[in-house]
Amino acid sequence: MGELPSLSLADWVVLTVVDERPTHGFAIAALTAEDGALGRVWHIPRPIVYRCLDRLTGLALLQVETTEAGSRGPQRSILAITPAGSAAVAEWLHEPVRHVRDMRSTLLAKLALLTRRGDDPAGLIAAQHDILVPVRDTLRRRHAAASGFDQTLLTWRLENTEAAVRFLDAIGRSAAPLSPDGAH
């Protein structure tokens, strides 16, 4: 596809959920609520879900497929993904994050979304590992030569990167992919 659209993590999560099947905002908000299947990883408040839907529709990544009567309230728009939206999701889901700090949010969201789709996350895990190992190795070299606060800061970064690599190694060795609720 080329260059991915500049979207927030909330936008990507909403777009990817709609890529699973046409749906409406209330259903997405339930999934991304604090106790929802995806909200446990990345909580998106209901008003933000609706802003995302408007933005993604405006970018022609989503479109209104139909409207149906709501059970309690106004009609709901059933949204479907466009070909451009689907292509963007396919690329984004398999793209590793560039920074350790994005693993808790973006990488875990991608792993949860891939699992929901029944896709094997092994390629993403391997690509993420390939990005982090050289970073870890560079941090090790820099840490060994540092002193004072630079060494303190590098210790922090190195420990976080080491933990991230161990995490990837552990989930990469898993015999069975995890379900969204954490069960094998």
Q: What is the pLDDT of residues 106-147, one digit of tens each?
A: 999 999 999 999 999 999 999 999 999 999 999 999 999 999
Got the DSSP string for 85-138? HHHHHHHHHTPPPSSGGGIIIIIHHHHHHHHHHT--THHHHHHHHHHHHHHHHH
CA distance 136 to 120: 26
Please state, in angstroms and rounded to a whole number, the distance separating the CA atoms of residues 55 and 29: 16
Neighbours of 41 (CB within 10 A): 20
**pLDDT reported for residue 9:** 97
Q: pTM of the prediction?
A: 0.87
DSSP code at position 146: -
What is the reported pLDDT for 131?
Answer: 96
pLDDT, tens digit, for every residue of 55-102? 999 999 999 998 887 667 678 899 999 999 999 999 999 999 999 999
Alpha-carbon distance of 73 to 56, in angstroms, equals 24
